[in-house]
Amino acid sequence: MAMQRGLIHPQSRAVGGDAMTPILMVLIYVETLPKPTLWAEPGSVITQGSPVTLRCQGNLETQEYRLHREKTSASWIRQIPQDLVNKGQFPIQSIAGEHAGRYRCRYRGRTHWSEFSDPLELVVTGYYIKPNLSALPSPVVTPGVNVTLQCGSQVAFDGFALHNEGEDEHPQRLNSQPHARWPSRAVFSVGPVSPSRRWTYRCYGCYSQSPYVWSLPSDLLELLVPGVSEKPSLSVQPGPVVEPGETLTLQCGSDVGYDRFTLYKEGEPDLLQRPGRQLQAGLSQANFTLSPVSHSHGGLYRCSGAHNLSSEWSAPSDPLDILIAGQFPDRPSLSMHPGPRVASGEKVTLLCQSQGWMYTFLLIKEGAADAPVRLRSKYQSDKYQAEFPMSPVTSAHAGTYRCYGSYSSNPYVLSHPSEPLELAVSGAAETLSPSQNKSDSKPGE
């Protein structure tokens, strides 16, 4: 409460009066009330049919509250029991489109009314089909940058709203713009992003004649902002090369004891999340199963880990290529020179060839944990080919090999495999006689 002092002069000097004419001094007390606070519980963006309560808070000397909706009156307010109104509570048991709008409240002190609160936009969702929300070009983003989010729909909405889940922020709103893919869409910018908080969003479509009645929410989009904590490892079973229809399991694990993991494919908008399974003290792992595999699963994958009590994701794992074989008819051939049996310390060259055009060839050792070796093809002797030299050969090189071809349009889609070829490695070269080297080269031994 503030006091203002003023003077009232009913007659500062009477007409014809003298300097002795009295002056009447009156002190005026003006009660200045701070504006109230208006909020909604559990929030201001509510699904139709759900309960919500608008709450207005004044000062300790509040005598009465009033809630007003801008532009159009709200008949539901008059139905609230007076004892709740006196407490500044305005509950809605089942919210509908008729409740949506822009609200303000005020309160009465001992002598007069306060000014109005800041506006509260009460939004009702769930009235139209959901739009699509994506991050461009990817939901995996670098700390410190701004991110572009696109909200689009096959419905011709007039505008879109972007809501940051779990954050007390006003939704961003943009008018719709036509696009080749979407009859309506809007492009939002968020950030700069940091790994210290979660960046989760949904978007909604709406029409200009009812701007506080929104569509169903888009699927949740989470931006992954990698931090600096220790990266997990990513492996695949049974191996990185699979045929369509098979089952593939990607395993993301760490000795840091992360509680949850996420798997993401380069260029894809979705993040797959799984809780971590504690294998033993300090070790945790999550399995991501892809089944049945199709050509669309081919690509480069990474994973990250996080603790439940933290919003920060770890540094990403090393990349892992998933390759889908059998996607075009050409099948290359594989040969070894000087032969499939060599002595340790010698040199062997594996030659992958094809009559049809191949942009690259891949050499894969059965059961090896190492990534496949990929080489650009060369056209020679009426064939496309690539040479994979190994020197000096050790016992670790022994095993069964296959090669595949791929086109430049999609390096993760492969041909059918060559026939398998086994490389046998005998003892150290300097301990073998020339006759032994010769006999080792005989087929069938």
Tell whether 392 and 411 lie within a shared domain.
Answer: yes
pLDDT above 90 (res 428): no
Tell me the average pLDDT across 340-363: 93
Specify whether the CB–CB gap between 332 and 358 falls below 8 A: yes
Tell whether 155 and 69 lie within a shared domain.
Answer: no
Specify whether the CB–CB gap between 248 and 160 falls below 8 A: no
- Omega into 171 within 30° of 0, i.e. cis? no
Tell whether 181 and 199 lie within a shared domain.
Answer: yes
Strand-pair partners of 234: 252
**Secondary structure class of 297 (helix, strand, coil):** helix
Tell whether 54 and 113 lie within a shared domain.
Answer: yes
- For 66, counting Cβ atoms within 10 Å of its Cβ (0-12 exposed, 13-18 middle, 19+ buried), the class is middle
Structure tokens at 134: 């994506």
14 within a domain of the structure (yes/no): no
Tell me the average pLDDT across 228-255: 92
**Secondary structure class of 438 (helix, strand, coil):** helix
Specify whether the CB–CB gap between 121 and 213 falls below 8 A: no
Tell whether 345 and 429 lie within a shared domain.
Answer: yes
Supply the pLDDT for residue 270: 81
Tell me the average pLDDT across 255-272: 89
Q: Is the dihedral of CA 393, 397, 398, 401 positive or negative?
A: negative
Which among 174, 203, 223 is the end of a domain?
223
Tell me the average pLDDT across 114-136: 94
Supply the pLDDT for residue 287: 94
184 within a domain of the structure (yes/no): yes
Tell me the average pLDDT across 60-85: 90
CA distance 38 to 58: 9
Specify whether the CB–CB gap between 346 and 429 falls below 8 A: yes
Q: 431 lies in which domain range?
A: 333-440
Higher local confidence (pLDDT), 408 or 209: 209
* Pairing, β 199-207 against β 383-390: unpaired
Tell whether 213 and 140 lie within a shared domain.
Answer: yes
Higher local confidence (pLDDT), 170 or 342: 342
Cβ within 8 Å of residue 79, ≥6 positions away:
none
Strand ranges, E, within 137-232: 147-153, 159-164, 172-175, 184-190, 199-207, 210-214, 221-223
Specify whether the CB–CB gap between 114 and 35 falls below 8 A: yes
Q: Angle at Cα 147 formed by Cα 146 and Cα 149, nearest 5°?
A: 145
Tell whether 186 and 218 lie within a shared domain.
Answer: yes
Structure tokens at 198: 């979660």
Tell whether 350 and 428 lie within a shared domain.
Answer: yes
Supply the pLDDT for residue 23: 53
Mean pLDDT (the chain) is 86
Closest CA to 297 of 271, 274, 262, 268: 268
CA distance 436 to 439: 5
Tell me the average pLDDT across 256-284: 87
Supply the pLDDT for residue 328: 83
- Number of structural domains (the chain) is 4
pLDDT above 80 (res 8): no
Neighbours of 297 (CB within 10 A): 18
CA distance 177 to 75: 36
16 within a domain of the structure (yes/no): no
Structure tokens at 194: 């940091």
Which among 189, 223, 257 is the end of a domain?
223
Q: H-helix or E-strand containing 361?
A: strand 360-365
Which among 223, 253, 279 is the end of a domain?
223
pTM of the predicted model as reported, rounded to 2 decimal places: 0.70
CA distance 78 to 98: 14
Strand-pair partners of 385: 353, 378
10 within a domain of the structure (yes/no): no
187 within a domain of the structure (yes/no): yes
Higher local confidence (pLDDT), 46 or 282: 46
3 within a domain of the structure (yes/no): no
29 within a domain of the structure (yes/no): no
Structure tokens at 405: 């071809």
Supply the pLDDT for residue 192: 92
Supply the pLDDT for residue 280: 77
Phi and psi angles of residue 130, each rounded to the nearest 5 degrees, phi first: -75, 145
Structure tokens at 422: 């086994």
242: CATH: 2.60.40.10
**Rounded percentage of the chain residues whose pLDDT exceeds 70:** 89
pLDDT above 80 (res 349): yes
**Rounded percentage of the chain residues whose pLDDT exceeds 90:** 61
